[in-house]
Structure 1
């Protein structure tokens, strides 16, 4: 907004205090958005169906077969890699096994977490029915243990087959050496090498036999269930603090943004503070509908102190609002030549100007339009008078010019042709009988 250099317009939003002042000015919009956000959160809380979460805790133990080892850290000190086991519990194989146990085609998604520094898997399922959630969580836990046992058993079977194949090969080589050994002359190098090879093959056969027997007697224990899933008594979602808090937070953000946009694009002047904030012009008086003599006296004093000449221009914003109602009392109270702008030459003759702004009627653009010609003519603006409706001033007593004491005393006794200002003062005649 282009205004007089003496009164630059203040730009809002330059500090934290300005933002709080903006919210105070637009508290209706801000509070409306906050209440709407909270109400929307409550509505969603009532509309969104309830969901129940059941959790089964599974203790994972080593099955004895070769498994992926876990790096020991401050978070996880178990020999098993439970992060990998958590992914296995959420795999498609476990899901298919759980669906088979539940006799359904599409079970609810499962969520598996690993408590820090533990060998426990928390298998959770969320469903619309508490019994369904508990049953599916238990089914996922059973399916995971079954898949883990099957995988371990398959790995043991493969190891047994590999051991058996190696043992058969060693036994075949041993039979060959045993048959060749009698045919070799004693004391020769070939006989010595054959005896050494026979000894090595005997040790290999013994070791393979021991490992094979250990694999055959190995017990597969994939883990155990620490706590069974029970139907929850209270729903896990929707959560009142979550929905209400989210709604209020969105309301706060949208309310602050809406208040800022409303304050930026709303240029209607509703209060005297709006005039000073949006235009940068000082408000010298906020006139009520019926100002008293004291308000008129203060206004006249301010105008006389600010006017550097004898001609004062009263300009109304919008045009025609209370210009005549303010000009006449100011003319009587200040003895200035008050121009109301009705004459085309009032702007050129004015020594100073006062703007009368109608609150709730004028905008900052209207004030800008009124200030622009005054700035071009270099007419200083004393300030702004604000009023929500046309003021009605009390009747004023017409003031007369007071003569000096010399004029009052000597004027009645001098001859008509003498000038009272240049003639000396003379004593007034005494009434008869007065003492000297």
Structure 2
């Protein structure tokens, strides 16, 4: 039973990696070694965290609609962005005596635990003390900025109320100066009295709002977990670096193996002959074969010829020319009792069939394909290939076996 297509694909991929396992392993080890070297050479980074509980300031600010999933009235997503803003970074830079607020901003991250009014402010630095100082500076700078923003909002509201109150008092003073006595007619006096009453109520309402706004106690929040120097670095991570190196090594090794396999046309094993040339493999000679190889090869060749007509068989070596003549003698002796075949080693003898002796680790699929095309144009049918190892000792045919 044949394998399904996806199984054949996996088997082909596995065979490529097995053939190029040395290159694959080298790339894999290089990736892991590169990750290890990068881990050693990367300076350590320390991260400290300060937690801030955000409280309503009392001033008007952006709020959320309270739901079963969002129980905090403050919009903490907005507050987290403010905590990472350039304004807060500038205030933190003043506390740290750092003139690069943009660089400080790149080192800070703010997280919001679900359904909480907590900001977790993390700061990363090359040493533990700097990390703790940075996280605490950003926490204090955020609260300072929040308090200042609330103060500015309240002061702006007080200015608006004071302006309105002055205007109402001025209008009220005009009505008092005119007085209902100076007005003629009961209707005019009634209207003036009503206007005074309205202006008096407005002045009283504005005064109450002004006093209430002026007495607001600003509560921006508090630091509930001060930043502490971390005891171990947060980066680099040995698992991340070695895992990344392993992954990149796998990719590079697989790519190099498939690329090398696609570009390399050298025939190194018997399987490469069938895979790269498409020729049937008639025999695979061991480095030190005995005389029994000739009868076996003769039976295979006679079966491939398939009729009783007289044939001229060409035994042509591709990067194995020195073995063609001794192999031809032995194969010819073994074919004599099986079929009317003469074995030659030259194309000038006008052969009608051919067997290619392919020298492993020396011949290429391009050379084999060129030989097949040339023989086909000459009307010679190529029966298949016989692989020849790099160091082959061709035995002499056993006369006793041939006579038998």
The reply to whether TM is greater than 0.5 is yes
* More helix, by proportion: 2
Q: Distance in 2 between matches of 1:277 and 1:161?
A: 90
Shift of 1:261: 0.8
Describe the shift of the 1:99–1:75 C-alpha distance in structure 2 as closer, same or farther (beyond 3 A).
farther
**1:189 is matched with which residue?**
187
Q: Distance in 1 between matches of 2:49 and 2:402?
A: 99
**1:360 is matched with which residue?**
361
Note if contact 2:180-2:192 (Cα within 8 Å) is conserved in structure 1. Answer: no
1:15-414 correspondence runs (5 A): 15-70=9-64, 76-106=70-100, 108=104, 109-184=107-182, 188-307=186-305, 308=307, 309-318=310-319, 320-335=321-336, 336-341=341-346, 345-346=348-349, 348=350, 350-388=351-389, 389-397=391-399
SS at match of 2:180: helix
Q: Distance in 1 between matches of 2:176 and 2:388?
A: 126
How many correspondences in the alignment?
386
Shift of 1:68: 2.1
- Listed as ranges, the gaps of 5+ residues in structure 1 are 1-12, 403-436
Q: Distance in 2 between matches of 1:394 and 1:64?
A: 108
Structure 1 residues 272-281 or 66-75, which shifts more? Answer: 66-75
Shift of 1:215: 1.2
Q: Distance in 1 between matches of 2:11 and 2:69?
A: 47
Shift of 1:400: 8.4
Q: Distance in 2 between matches of 1:184 and 1:373?
A: 132
Q: Superposition RMSD on alpha carbons, in Å?
A: 2.2
Describe the shift of the 1:75–1:43 C-alpha distance in structure 2 as closer, same or farther (beyond 3 A).
farther
Note if contact 1:138-1:229 (Cα within 8 Å) is conserved in structure 2. Answer: yes
Q: Distance in 2 between matches of 1:337 and 1:249?
A: 59
Note if contact 1:332-1:399 (Cα within 8 Å) is conserved in structure 2. Answer: no
SS at match of 1:225: strand
Shift of 1:23: 1.2
Shift of 1:55: 0.9
Deviations 1:25-70 (Å, cap 9, x if unpaired)?
Answer: 1111111111100110000000000000001111111111111233
- Listed as ranges, the gaps of 5+ residues in structure 2 are 1-6
Bigger Cα Rg:
1
Shift of 1:186: 7.7
Note if contact 2:320-2:359 (Cα within 8 Å) is conserved in structure 1. Answer: no
Shift of 1:217: 1.0
**1:417 is matched with which residue?**
none
